[in-house]
Amino acid sequence: MSAIVLDGKALATQIEQQLAERVAVIMEQTQGIIPILATILVGDDPASATYVRMKGNACNRVGMESISITLDAATTTEQLMAEIQQLNDNPDVHGILLQHPVPGQINERLCFDSIALAKDVDGVTSLGFGKMAMQEFAYGSATPAGIINILDAYDIDPSGKHAVVVGRSAILGKPMAMMLLNKNATVTVCHSRTQDLPAYVRQADIIVGAVGKPELIRGEWIKDGAVVIDAGYHPGGIGDIELEAIKDRCYAYTPVPGGVGPMTIATLITQTVDAAERHYEIY
């Protein structure tokens, strides 16, 4: 079997070309207003700084602007919320991204939930999650929404399939499960307390690795013909799934790197353009 490579990098490039055209339309219809994504980084974690820089570069490629705010690692919850509120109140800012994780002294959930729903383009608020789960309007959490975009682009329909999501984080595993459920999949969520994880993985028509541990999900657990989505990335260019063991047995898989990662950023930028279009009533 020759598996389909779900090329997120190539798909993201196509999306960016379309976004550049949409940004040009926004500028034309608003006499030069440019969509803006504001990013907030608390502390000096090198990986987080790299992610923020990559998102800023993506904005530049499509003609958007990005505002990068870096706060001291000793920042308090109240100080961070005050920064977020200023961005909420700024009509020129269309999307707000608080880079995860934040230092331990900060109440991350409280800060996420202080982002205005209309600017929650990373899909991190409790209100946004609830609306998404109920199939009302909200911007989906960027990584799982990016995964859904990959499935759609490759005409992989989750309807009626058994999807197994390994991981239950608030910004990946849980929204991934709800999005797949909204696409009519039968969904099982596994996590650190799951007993006999291999038995669940073996049932999966679609397996999503979202656990954050290198190659925790072994190739021998995955059945032939499955769709394999690896949302992990670890040093050495490996993900949460032992991909080398299944490349000749599965129906399709996301490579690491070059699969889910680029589509996370492309989805974030797309949702920022969406927010600008909604703000200026450009449809």
CATH number of the domain located at residue range(s) 142-260 in this protein: 3.40.50.720
Which amino acid makes up residue 66?
S
For residue 245, name the pLDDT band (cuts at 50, 70, 90). very high
Domain ranges in the chain with CATH number 3.40.50.720: 142-260
Q: Which CATH architecture fits 30-116?
A: 3-Layer(aba) Sandwich (3.40)
Rounded distance, CA 283 to CA 281, Å?
6
User: Model confidence over 110-121: pLDDT tens digits?
Assistant: 999 999 999 999
Closest to 120 (Cα-Cα) out of 103, 136, 100, 142: 142
- Give pLDDT, residue 1: 62
User: Model confidence over 202-218: pLDDT tens digits?
Assistant: 999 999 999 999 999 99
Q: Which residues are annotated as catalytic?
A: 55, 99, 122
What residues contact 145, with CB distance under 8 A and at least 6 apart? 123, 139, 175, 179, 267, 271
What residues contact 225, with CB distance under 8 A and at least 6 apart? 1, 205, 249, 250, 251
Q: Give the three-state DSSP class for 252.
A: strand
User: Model confidence over 28-50: pLDDT tens digits?
Assistant: 999 999 999 999 999 999 989 99
The whole-chain average pLDDT of the chain stands at: 97
Domain ranges in the chain with CATH number 3.40.50.10860: 30-116
- Give pLDDT, residue 131: 98
C-alpha angle 35-40-42 in degrees, rounded to nearest 5 = 170
Is the pLDDT assigned to residue 79 strictly greater than 80? Answer: yes
